[in-house]
């Protein structure tokens, strides 16, 4: 028996769910809900480390670098999920925040066994992605032992990239190979070792924090409005209209008119309404303020 795995919190037997196979449906649900309620506190305990990671991410992305998630199984899927939601939410280039899973895209739908133990593939992934010293790599592994992730982080560090680890055990193998280690310990799973449960939930909360706070710091929101979204479908067009109205107090027709004039850019439309600038002038003002709508509005107001 491997002593490392035997010592993992995520591999322990949960004493509170021992008889789950004898529970009614309601009792099972209550047990799951009781265990899930422990997740937010575990994440909250890691806020000091998450803060450090966000500061690194903000610095890297602000200066032209990229963010890469790497993981296997549930952990890899969480990274791909978070990365894939960033372009529609924050209007960024899909290559800015990338998610990669051991075994490739097929592993998003099917369990591809063995790839998490493939250190060579972790190294090869970093090299295929063209990771540089200007980038940051976030490795995710519940056990902290996935060779694919550890080797990928080690290779990234050799190149000079910043490295962040997300794990669900303290004193893991992952901790020694990254600049910042975020380790929300959620305890033994309802079903022994099934880290798609509490551990996976904690990972999703952490990744939400990493990208959301980084994007806010990059000026991708106005107050708490996602102003950098592009109105690329009916739902997002409707949301854009509501965001413009909330930010400017104009009516629906005016919001739609400005959105059209701004080539479906919600942020640009708000800038035009708030400042009276035309599309070209508003875009130039935003660029001068690194894309921060609030800063651009304040700067123009001072000039006037």
Write out pLDDT tens, residues 125-138. 999 999 999 999 99
Q: Looking at residue 217, what is its pLDDT?
A: 96
Look at residue 224 and tell me if it is in a domain. no
Query: Average model confidence (pLDDT) for the chain?
Result: 94
Domain end residue (candidates: 217, 244, 276): 217
pLDDT in tens, 231-256: 778 998 999 999 999 999 999 999 99
pLDDT in tens, 14-33: 999 999 999 999 999 999 99
Q: What is the arithmetic mean of pLDDT over 90-98?
A: 95
Residues 6 or more apart whose CB falls under 8 angstroms from that of 44 comprise: none
Q: Looking at residue 232, what is its pLDDT?
A: 79
pLDDT at 68 over 60: yes
Q: What is the arithmetic mean of pLDDT over 79-95?
A: 94
Q: Identify the CATH number of the domain in which residue 269 sits.
A: 1.10.8.1080
How many Å apart are CA 169 and CA 174, to the nearest integer? 9
Range of the domain at 279: 234-303
Split at pLDDT 50, 70, 90, the class of 113 is confident
pLDDT at 1 over 60: no
Q: Looking at residue 63, what is its pLDDT?
A: 96
Q: Identify the CATH number of the domain in which residue 99 sits.
A: 3.40.50.10490
pLDDT at 303 over 70: no
Q: Which residue has the higher pLDDT, 89 or 56?
A: 56
Q: Which residue has the higher pLDDT, 191 or 105?
A: 191
Residues classed as catalytic: 85, 116
Domain count within the chain: 2
Whether residues 35 and 84 fall in one domain: yes
Q: What is the CB-side half-sphere exposure of residue 91 using CA atoms within 13 A? A: 21
Task: List the one residue out of 156, 155, 157, 153 whose CA is nearest residue 166.
Answer: 153
Whether residues 191 and 64 fall in one domain: yes
Q: Which residue has the higher pLDDT, 216 or 302?
A: 216
Q: 3-state SS of 28-46?
A: HHHHHHHHHCCHHHHHHCC
Q: What angle do CA 194, 212, 63 make, to 5 degrees?
A: 120
């Amino acid at each position: 028996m491997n002593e490392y795995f035997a010592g993992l919190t995520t591999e322990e037997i949960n004493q509170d769910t021992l008889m789950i196979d004898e529970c009614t449906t309601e009792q099972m649900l209550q047990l799951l809900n009781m265990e899930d309620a422990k997740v937010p506190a575990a994440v909250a305990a890691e806020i000091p480390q998450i803060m450090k990671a966000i500061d690194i991410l903000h610095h890297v992305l602000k200066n032209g670098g990229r963010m890469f998630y790497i993981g296997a199984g549930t952990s890899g899927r969480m990274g791909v999920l978070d990365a894939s939601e960033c372009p529609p939410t924050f209007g960024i280039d899909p290559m800015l925040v990338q998610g990669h899973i051991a075994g490739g895209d097929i592993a998003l739908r099917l369990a591809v066994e063995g790839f998490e133990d493939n250190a060579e593939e972790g190294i090869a992934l970093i090299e295929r992605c063209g990771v540089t010293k200007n980038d940051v790599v976030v490795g995710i592994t519940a056990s902290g032992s996935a060779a694919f992730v550890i080797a990928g982080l080690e290779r990234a560090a050799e190149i000079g990239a910043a490295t962040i680890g997300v794990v669900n055990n303290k004193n893991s193998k992952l901790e020694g190979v990254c600049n910042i280690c975020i380790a929300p310990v959620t305890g033994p799973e309802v079903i022994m070792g099934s880290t798609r449960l509490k551990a996976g939930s904690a990972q999703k909360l952490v990744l939400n924090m990493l990208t959301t706070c980084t994007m806010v710091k990059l000026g991708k929101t106005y107050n708490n409005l996602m102003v950098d979204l592009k109105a690329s479908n009916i739902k997002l067009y409707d949301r854009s209209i509501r965001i413009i109205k909330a930010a400017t107090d104009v009516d629906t027709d005016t919001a739609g008119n400005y959105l059209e004039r701004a080539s479906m850019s919600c942020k640009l439309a708000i800038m035009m309404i708030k400042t009276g600038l035309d599309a070209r002038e508003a875009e130039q003002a935003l660029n001068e303020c690194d894309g921060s709508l609030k800063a651009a509005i304040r700067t123009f107001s001072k000039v006037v």
